[in-house]
Amino acid sequence: MEESSSPMANALMGGLPFGVKRRGQLYPGEDNYFRQNPKVTGMAAEDDAVILNPYSSLSEQEKQAVARNEAARVHMRRSETKPSFALTEDQRRQFAGTPYEGNEQAMRETIAARIFSGDPSGGEITPEQNSFLTMLRALAGTTR
């Protein structure tokens, strides 16, 4: 399929925002990881592609949301678009006992990606977070 130069047209054709690619073929280590971790639904792979867990029982709509979330993470990783907003105490509590605990930037990027993809686990959105989201959506060429 030929790629469009418009981010919005790319998204409408089933592509991911920010020009991020979705890789269907998993590397052996990725496949093993997903097989052992079926609750991990997808990830922004080291090659800046989005990969989804084939062992997950997500619906097609849920897979699209995960792919959008991971595309936002890839974009933040490879660009200067980094969130610097404050986190709420409720948002911080979400990361207690996880590898992100104590890593403020990873927590901010995770919350931003969740909000971008419409994942309600992003928590209560502050005005500062909403401003970042508005800018991120503009960069993606989307309003939602």
Look at residue 108 and tell me whether its pLDDT is greater than 70: yes
Find out whether 137 and 130 touch, Cβ atoms under 8 Å: no
Look up the pTM and report it: 0.84
For the segment 16-72, what is each residue's pLDDT rounded down to a tens digit?
A: 999 999 999 999 999 999 999 999 999 999 999 999 999 999 999 999 999 999 999
- Mean pLDDT calculated for residue range 119-142: 92
Query: Helices 60-78 & 104-117, crossing angle to 10 degrees?
Result: 140
∠ CA 103-139-107, rounded to 5°: 10
Say what the pLDDT of residue 144 is.
65
Q: What is the DSSP string of 66-98?
A: HHHHHHHHHHHHHSS----PPPPHHHHHHTTTS
pLDDT at residue 142, rounded to an integer: 77
- Of the listed ranges 6-10, 98-102, 108-112, the one predicted with least confidence: 6-10
pLDDT at 112 (0 to 100): 97
DSSP the chain: -PPPSSHHHHHHTTPPGGG-EE--SPPHHHHHHHHH-TT--EEE-TTSEEEE-TTS---HHHHHHHHHHHHHHHHHHHSS----PPPPHHHHHHTTTSTTTT-HHHHHHHHHHHHHHT-GGG-SPPHHHHHHHHHHHHHHT---
**pLDDT for res 11:** 40
- Cα four-point dihedral sign 53, 123, 87, 20: positive
Please give the residue that has the higher pLDDT: either 4 or 77: 77
